[in-house]
């Protein structure tokens, strides 16, 4: 599995770059395993993004096999921000950062949660998501600690090479 992807949430993040295609698949088997009709998508190839953290280059790799519901937008807000759009790639990276701590056999920390949200915002800016949408997402993330710390372990599917 990928390296531990968290840093100090106060660290400066610059130069966020999307370097590869995001390849998603839709898998009905996920519905049976997860029981969530919206979490029927799977990252089919490792998905790297590059960024600079405190002046040092770093790559976050979303591992293939991660299940996702795309952008986790409550139904009542989907007229403002849809589940897909220019924000999707940043949301997939964010999904990974919201579950990676669980694979380390450790407890969630507010520092890791804040870092995950900061990376999301950097990814939104890099994707040139409109300021109003970025701001709406940033405000919503301020209320997501309960989701982060109580997140059920995401299902990882084995994707043959």
| DSSP bridge partners of 25 | 42
CA 83 to chain centre: 13
The pTM of the full predicted model, rounded to 2 decimals, is: 0.85
Per-residue pLDDT of the chain (161 residues; tens, 9 = 90+): 345 688 889 999 999 999 999 999 886 665 555 555 556 788 999 999 999 999 999 999 999 988 888 877 666 666 666 667 788 899 899 989 988 887 777 788 899 999 999 999 999 999 999 998 888 888 888 887 887 777 665 566 656 55
Burial class, 142, CB count within 10 angstroms (exposed 0-12 / middle 13-18 / buried 19+): exposed
Q: Indicate the domain borders of the chain.
A: 13-149
Which residue is listed with tokens 């770059």? 17
CB 18 within 8 A of CB 89: yes
């Amino acid at each position: 599995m990928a390296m531990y992807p968290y840093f100090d949430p106060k660290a400066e993040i610059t130069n966020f770059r999307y370097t590869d295609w995001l390849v998603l698949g839709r898998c009905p088997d996920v519905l049976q395993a997860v029981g969530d009709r919206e979490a029927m998508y799977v990252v089919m190839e490792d998905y790297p993004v590059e960024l600079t953290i405190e002046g040092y280059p770093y790559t976050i790799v979303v591992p293939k096999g991660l299940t996702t519901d795309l952008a986790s937008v409550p139904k009542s807000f989907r007229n403002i921000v849809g589940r897909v759009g220019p924000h999707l790639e940043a949301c997939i990276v964010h999904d990974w950062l919201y579950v990676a701590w669980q694979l380390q056999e450790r407890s969630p920390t507010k520092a890791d949660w804040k870092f995950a949200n900061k990376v999301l915002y950097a990814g939104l800016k890099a994707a040139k998501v409109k300021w109003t949408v970025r701001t709406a997402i940033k405000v919503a993330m301020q209320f997501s600690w309960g989701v982060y710390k109580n997140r059920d372990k995401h299902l990882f599917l084995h994707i043959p090479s």
